[in-house]
Structure 1
């Protein structure tokens, strides 16, 4: 006798336990999702609840701009560093440290284990400007069409910060070496193990993810969720 399934019955997915390396992979994927979510909200650049936070300005940084510090406070360390992010700035004088970074696919044949991309990155840049309450600022810079053009730009690279009206408010310059040395070193926070794996393994996975192509990232995600 033939039987028919009830179309109204919804089959629930069967979840399998995740152990060991898979647990680490899912933890990393959670970090990826968290990083992506950050692109649609502002990254706060202060501690606590200072006055003026409700009237914070916004600095929009495209994927090529990697902001590392705002007013001496570290704000980077995202799993994927090519995210477009918004940074909330307190009204008043702000100092933003960043680098400009582009990735170019290699046209030549690469060996096994060799990176498939060229990374072109500027020296650390610093820009200082007076942020107005609730104002929106963006980075303005020349965009190269080739890796060679990008490399040529690095010698004298600078970016301009403009307001919502398009008027420039500040221009970046290379962060002086003596300025870096003058800063009091901030002790690195001890990284908590993820899924039983120490921070060095996590850093390695981050580095591999950074150099992976879009197809390789998609293949990795498909494998992780199998």
Structure 2
């Protein structure tokens, strides 16, 4: 595969991810966890997530994975019972000599976690978790990692546990219709699967425009 082709593929992936962000967000930093205009969308709760938290799914709906892992985002939540699947991830610089081909950083990542709570209209929620002082401390935390969800007054409303892969979310909380778009793919879906799903939903004019851009 030529470098030119690799570059075009990278551009294609980047465009799809950016289009997905624009399509589901009400601002550059808020991603709404629903489609259409369901009841409660006018007074959503907001879940603020720091760069260490990577949200995989909300109420069974896959959230977009962005090009930067440490991107802090706000998520708009429909009021009511809410299920959030996420992982905690930190990156630490390597010390000493780094050989060619070796990563310059250590990555410490938790198993997938799930937290469930009753989101109130217009309320703001945040994650709270212990801050490791070193990579070794972070690795030690992963054995029994848990994060709490707190409200704007600092009151704990829920604590996370290990995700068993079984969603308890009500499908009506994230109306997706019968579309097979990338937004409805499961938390484990790949970038290729999202690309394929988005392509199926695109109009003929959108496909032509996209191809002209990707291979110009």
TM-score under structure 1 normalisation? 0.67
In 2: Cα distance, 1:34 partner to 1:81 partner: 18
Structure 1 unmatched ranges of 5 or more? 1-18, 197-226
**Which of 128, 131, 138 is the aligned partner of 2:119?**
131
Larger Cα-atom Rg:
1
Provide Cα deviations, 1:32-88, integer angstroms capped at 9, x if missing partner.
Answer: 988999785310111211110011000000000000000110003211121000000
1:110, distance to aligned residue in structure 2 (A) = 1.6
Question: What does residue 172 of structure 1 align with?
Answer: 160
Matched-pair contact (CA < 8 Å) for 1:53–1:90 = yes
Matched, 1:96 2:96: no
**Which of 66, 74, 84 is the aligned partner of 1:78?**
66
In 2: Cα distance, 1:152 partner to 1:127 partner: 21
In 2: Cα distance, 1:40 partner to 1:90 partner: 19
In 2: Cα distance, 1:134 partner to 1:121 partner: 31
Provide Cα deviations, 1:155-196, integer angstroms capped at 9, x if missing partner.
Answer: 01000000001100000001126x37xxxx847331768835
In 1: Cα distance, 2:77 partner to 2:17 partner: 24
> Cα distance 1:32–1:95, how it changes in 2: closer, same or farther (>3 A)?
closer
What stretches of structure 1 move > 4 A for 4+ residues in a row? Answer: 19-40, 191-194
Secondary structure of 1:108 counterpart: coil
**Which of 191, 195, 199 is the aligned partner of 2:214?**
195
Aligned length: 175
Higher RCO (Cα < 8 Å, 6 or more apart): 2
CA RMSD of aligned residues (A): 3.2
TM-score under structure 2 normalisation? 0.70
In 2: Cα distance, 1:144 partner to 1:133 partner: 33
